[in-house]
Amino acid sequence: MGDKPLAHLEYPVLGRAYFLGGRASTSLRRALLQAGVEEDVLQRVCVACYEAEMNVVLHARTGYMSVDVWPDRVEVCVTDHGPGIEDVELAMQPGYSTASEEARSLGFGAGMGLPNIRQHADELAIESKVGEGVRLVMTFWRGGRRDGSEQ
């Protein structure tokens, strides 16, 4: 296998811009369709990326989504500049959220984001530095999950 991905995509994500949220993921969906990524993989990438994008929008000042398409996988890295996550384990619990009332009234921040990401990505790594930001790395295997289990 070559050391260059089949496609490399980058999208900026703006914090607090609730109503622009989802645009990066929607553009990504189109690009991945063009890159020939399989429908089932595409669907999982879309759900996870939307949630990761909205996490940046809801909690951070700014961030970006970087995506590499490989023959056997799609790798997504979402990095933001913001408050970071104080307790990653707690944040992974369904229903736990630090989103504002404003965000919640719009139907965001129900504490389902990270659980949704974990459910849809095959591999997930979260690095957080409080006061600096979060780096999320997600891997989606093409042609079935590597651990043999189905969704």
CB of 135 to other proteins, least distance (A): 21
Does position 31 interact with other proteins (CB under 8 A)? The reply is no
Order across the sheet with 62-69: list the strands. Answer: 7-14, 62-69, 73-81, 133-141, 123-129
For other proteins, which residue of 63, 82, 113, 133 counts as binding (CB under 8 A)? 113
Does position 119 interact with other proteins (CB under 8 A)? The reply is yes
Does position 106 interact with other proteins (CB under 8 A)? The reply is yes
Which segment (3-11, 16-24, 61-69, 74-82) binds other proteins by CB under 8 A?
16-24
Q: If binding means CB under 8 A, how many residues of this protein chain bind other proteins? A: 23
- Distance (Å, rounded) from C-alpha 23 to C-alpha 115? 21
Quick check: 65 and 78 in contact, CB under 8 A?
yes
Query: How, if at all, do strands 123-129 and 133-141 pair?
Result: antiparallel
| DSSP bridge pairs for 139 | 75, 123
For other proteins, which residue of 7, 31, 110, 137 counts as binding (CB under 8 A)? 110
Does position 84 interact with other proteins (CB under 8 A)? The reply is no
Residue 109 to residues 5, 13, 50, 58, 99, Cα–Cα distance (Å): 34, 17, 13, 8, 5
Which segment (46-54, 79-87, 126-134, 140-148) binds other proteins by CB under 8 A?
46-54
Does position 66 interact with other proteins (CB under 8 A)? The reply is no
> Between 23 and 81, whose beta carbon lies closer to other proteins?
23
In order, the DSSP letters of 20-67 are GTTHHHHHHHHHHHHTT--HHHHHHHHHHHHHHHHHHHHH-SEEEEEE
What is the binding site for other proteins (CB under 8 A)?
Answer: 18-23, 25-26, 29, 43, 46-47, 50-51, 54, 106-108, 110, 112-113, 116, 119
